[in-house]
Chain A
Amino acid sequence: MDKINRRKFIKSAGLAGGALSLAGVAGAGYSAGADKDSFTGYGRTAYGEDQFFNRKPFLVDKPTYVQEGEPVRITSIEDIFKRNGELSRLMFSRNGDQPAWKPSDGLDALPGYLRAYYQANPGAFDEFIKAMQKGREQRTNWDKYRDKYFIADAWSNAHSSPIRGRSSFPAEPQGKPEESDFRGVNKKRLKLKSPRHGSELLKKICYSFGASLAGIAKVKKEWVYQGSLRGIGRVDYEVPSHWKYAVVIAVPHEWDSMYANPTYGTSYDAYSKLRFIAGKMEVFIKELGYSARPHVPPTSYDLVMPPLAIDAGMGEQGRNGILITPELGANTRLAAITTDMPLEPDKPIDIGVSKFCKKCRICAEECPGGAISFKDTPGEVIRGYRRWKIDQNKCFTVWNSVATSHARGCRVCLSVCPYSRKNNWIHNFAREADPRDPTGLLASGLLAMQKKFFTYPGGQEYLPPPDGNNRTFGEAPGWLRTEEWFDL
């Protein structure tokens, strides 16, 4: 009798145990998902632990971008910010003079080099006029949205404060690179054990300054801008011989605000962080006795960052033109320091991003400006490399359209990218398993789930009314929502 009762007890306990264990994994799963500490980066560790993905199995000799024909250096005027910078210098007088040019003067009144760009790129000028128009609408409509994005705007402005003006850090280079890059270099230099030691050390120091990812690349001349050089101005120049290697660093945006793009997020959080790290790296390398030149956001670059980072083995290029890394996905912001210190470059990696992007197209579907290509395969050869074309003009029009206090950016293509995910068990499974699957079936399956299960508002929805509904991709975190802290 007693024995039967005990048996009965164990049997029912077994059932209860099974059910409770399921509840347990449900709870463990929920907290793994909700855990804010499973976001990568943001100074959680100073020892490189954020670069947690083991790249060794995926190292390749040749980067995954495809060269076709002779590489051509990008002229600075081809970059929308350099181009807009030139235009704004013409449009807004600095010291009370008459503006040299206004949009109604038209294309023909522009200086030759600008006119040449717009003539070679039909539609770009109209798009610029449209962006100006949208910018005016953005400023008039800002009153309507000011309260809602009060904290987000303040937060962004706080992040941008170290970037504005002459006193920003690191200081802009002055004069020729042969002078400015060597200014303040320690005369005393110790003998480096080996270039490998140099690379190891610099990466460790990058991490200690707060970089999430760090890599070393050899400077290829085709990644260097042509037509203007910081410290000198508009000039055609050969790549200085002391720009031998680049230390490339990456940090993410704060994740919760990044998911709430375009209106709640900002670019400046990652920008200011990168400037701080790169500026300190400049000083550190100079203290070791070698030349150093930081290349930092938003526009203080002499090199194009994504291909350099691909060379440094940090990731691959995505359909959205952004560097996609295994740890941060597309939520990757880049800076670099060029130096003549003897270093050992990292090898590029192939984790299947370029294959995945062919199938995915989520960023193209979600882009509010339709600036990202829908083509099956990279459709155009741009400056000697086959890639998907990003319409930077359309992209910039969206900057001027979304409900922010000024053209502060959009970044929706960072948020929606399936690679931009947390460092937890479920996403790590995808991270580790997908690049090891040669058939691509897993990627297709995961992508199907991504598209069917997850909610994507769709490109137009991110725009303000009447075009859209000011949607954000993810929900804004409580700390960015004005209504939770202030009486409205």
Chain B
Amino acid sequence: MFNNSNILEPLFWIIMGGLYTVFIIGLAMWLKDMKVKMNWWKWSLTLLWFILLSITVAGGFTLIGENELRAGLLFMAVPGAVIIVAGVALGRFLLRNTNEEKDN
């Protein structure tokens, strides 16, 4: 983020680490409140999805930084669409049992 700063760059990644921690703790609480039973592979799927989303966003913006606006936007749009669809599918999968409970 701050390529030529020896101070801001590590600070940036420390803050990023903090944000990820807060995000995962918050996510766990959301899932618990929504009565989603999580296990290790469900967690890995969820985090994998988030990592893929992050990589797509980072990749798109890297290309935009390289002065390739169109390439960057398309890079985000094409895999982005797939990831959104996969996210909706994953969300439905995780929430499936909870909905049934409600229905019953």
Contacts and interface: CB of A to CB of B under 8 A. Distances in A.
A28 B64 CA distance: 12
B65 A10 contact: no
A137 to B, nearest CB: 31
A14 B3 contact: no
Given A7-B29, A17-B26, A24 B71 contact: no
B61 A455 contact: no
Given A12-B26, A26-B57, A28-B12, A17 B65 contact: no
A441 to B, nearest CB: 16
Contact of B57 (A20, A25, A31): A25
B23 A17 contact: yes
B63 A33 contact: yes
B29 to A, nearest CB: 5
Interface string A24-43: 11111111111101000000
A452 B74 contact: yes
A192 interface: no
19 contacts: A13-B22, A14-B22, A14-B24, A14-B27, A14-B30, A16-B22, A17-B19, A17-B21, A17-B26, A21-B19, A21-B23, A22-B57, A26-B61, A29-B57, A29-B60, A30-B62, A34-B65, A37-B4, A455-B71
Contacts, number: 123
B55 to A, nearest CB: 8
Given A22-B53, A24-B1, A26-B61, A14 B23 contact: yes
B26 A453 contact: no
Main secondary structure, interface of B, reads helix
B38 interface: no
B7 to A, nearest CB: 15
Interface of B: 1-4, 12, 15-16, 18-27, 29-30, 33, 50, 53-55, 57-68, 70-71, 74-75, 78
B54 A11 contact: no
Interface stretch (A168-176, A306-314, A420-428): A420-428
User: What is the interface residue range for chain A against chain B?
Assistant: 35 or more
Contacts of A22: 53-54, 57
Contacts of B16: 21, 24-25, 28
A310 to B, nearest CB: 29
Contacts of B55: 25
A15 interface: yes
Nearest to B77: A453
A449 B79 CA distance: 11
B3 A18 contact: no
B75 A449 contact: yes
A7 to B, nearest CB: 6
Interface of A: 7, 10-18, 20-22, 24-35, 37, 422, 424-426, 449, 452-455, 474-475
A454 B3 CA distance: 25
A35 B3 contact: yes
A396 B56 CA distance: 42
Given A18-B27, A32-B58, 8 more contacts: A11-B33, A14-B24, A17-B20, A21-B16, A25-B57, A28-B12, A33-B62, A449-B75
Contact of A34 (B20, B23, B66): B66
Contact of B12 (A24, A35, A452): A24
A14 B29 contact: yes
Contact of A15 (B4, B26, B54, B60): B26
A437 B16 CA distance: 33
A32 B26 contact: no
Contacts of B57: 22, 25-26, 29
